[in-house]
Amino acid sequence: MKANGEKFAVITAYDFTFSKLIETAAIEVVLVGDSLGNVVQGRDSTLPVTIDDMAYHTEAVKRGNNRALLMTDMPFMSYATEVQALDNAAILMQAGAQMVKLEGGAWLADTVYLLSQRGIPVCGHVGLTPQSVHKLGGYKVQGKEDQAAELMIADALALEDAGAELIVVECVPSALGKQLAEALTIPVIGIGAGPDTDAQVLVLHDMLGISQRLPRFSKNFLEEQTCIQDAITAYGAAVRDGTFPAPEHCFK
């Protein structure tokens, strides 16, 4: 799809029922996100989420999904060492995941290579990495300075070279999102990264407008629809035709 210039949609799911709705809406990729800590468990961050939590929700989503690529987040401190990463990635793959996602830059290259060589597809995640929220000093836009932007591109290229097959970039200026999509041969999935990435991802609860606080980069697709099914379908269509994200959802 990237080679053909076709955009695709990614959305989070945490249970069987929504997984079935997403499948009917023909969304290309489903992410079992550690954002479940916020929207399902009521936590103030993703840090308390465990590997057992992720495996449980992956199993539930898998039961409702027979079409989309199913990707699962590896939670906080579940890949601090290479051995730990292998063990925990195996748990998620056996629960039904077809790819795992890890947050971090070039320091993860050896881990990504190890997982990839052992048959575990990997998605990287750069920019705002929620598991590092305390290190970053909050949920702030990343890569605004030239040096930080260059480092982020170098990190993404290192992950691609190590074997990553997708990259998520979160909360960066639109210009940097475009640079990343152009620099990498693998698809770049944006969230708050502008309209020029190869795909977009949103948290399910955000795009339905039922989160406690709607992030600037999100849109309530349920406002213009009569049911949840139509809202999810509208989100996918808006990503594919390039009408989402609009300028008001982007960072300069």
The per-residue pLDDT for range 158-167, each reduced to its tens digit, is 999 999 999 9
β-pair partners for 170: 127, 191
Q: Is 170 a catalytic residue?
A: yes
Per-residue confidence in pLDDT tens, the chain, 252 aa: 999 999 999 999 999 999 999 999 999 999 999 999 999 999 999 999 999 999 999 999 999 999 999 999 999 999 999 999 999 999 999 999 999 999 999 999 999 999 999 999 999 999 999 999 988 888 899 999 999 999 999 999 999 999 999 999 999 999 999 999 999 999 999 999 999 999 999 999 999 999 988 999 999 999 999 999 999 999 999 999 999 999 999 999
- Quick one: what percent of the chain has pLDDT higher than 70? 100
Instruction: Judge contact between 171 and 179, C-beta under 8 A.
Output: no
53 is in an annotated binding site: no
35 is in an annotated binding site: yes
- Cα of 22 vs its chain's centroid, Å: 16
CA atoms within 13 Å, Cβ hemisphere of 179: 17
101 is in an annotated binding site: yes
Catalytic residue among 170, 182, 223, 248: 170
Q: Which domains can be identified in the chain, with CATH numbers?
A: 2-249 (3.20.20.60)
Q: The whole model's pTM is what?
A: 0.97
